[in-house]
Structure 1
Amino acid sequence: MPFPNNLTTLDGTPLSPAVLENKVILFVNVASKCGLTPQYSDLVELDTAYGSRGLVIVGVPCNQFGAQEPGTPEEIKEFTKTKYDVDFTLLEKQDVNGPNRSPLYQFLVGDGPDIGWNFGKFLVGRNGEVIARFEPKTPPNDPDLKAAIEAALG
């Protein structure tokens, strides 16, 4: 399955494919009311550290795990900006598992196991192929994750 080019941002506008073109992308299914929500801080740090080198972080709100992302797009945006100073891209709320799994997550997961919880991470290379998958409890500042990002950035 090819990389989906019809992504929609949290505010309902199409995400320009140019934002992701020739970039290394870290997709993360996120939630505002999860024990792992503080990972937003480390995601912001990754964005600051690697954004100028070509890393794009994309948060994908998901309400499938314990209903931990119940908010409206406006509430999600305000929470992430106010609490964590998030300015990386947030997409519209999506299902990451099950029969309504979004096309993005069909691409990311492929034949792999379902996502276990909020804050699962997928690293996609400049060529649009999934390089690595990291489980929810793997923090964004994990040495293996950072090493994978470094290798992908070249």
Structure 2
Amino acid sequence: MPKQMVVIGDSIIRKVDRVICQADRFNRTVCCLPGARVRHVVDRLDTLLGGAGHDPAVLVHIGTNDKMNGRWGTLRSEFRDLVSKRSSNVIFSEILPVPRASLGRQRELRELNAWLKSWCRKEGFGFLEHWLYKGVTKMLDFRRADFASIRASLQC
């Protein structure tokens, strides 16, 4: 039996179901929660994964909507809570930069991503990077073509 895969995220993943689910519509699901913050997904995770079968692969793309402003400890705790009861294969997607955000906000996002990447390695979770570092930091466009690489990396 093929492994179930669920992609959960904020509005950035809207309309990617055609790309992600194209190979196997019966075993892949996309749950778009516009404006979602980490806490919202923590509170709904059991419901979202209820019909996903036993031990699904889960790709989580959230965090851009969270306001850090000194909430480092709380935000880290929320990420930990998100997977505290999960035994499934969890992959976290890097938090994207916010257009026109202050330099301080962008720095906070980079620091949170560095922590998230390190924590994922330590805990055995996957981490999907989107930023390229070649002298200048660039963000990959989240177009349908980019999700082909996500789909390829999540082959179940």
What interval of TM-score do these two structures reach, taking the shorter chain for normalisation?
0.3 to 0.5
Q: Which has the higher contact order (CA 8 A, sep 6+)?
A: 1
Higher helix share: 2
After TM superposition, the score normalised by the length of structure 2 is 0.33
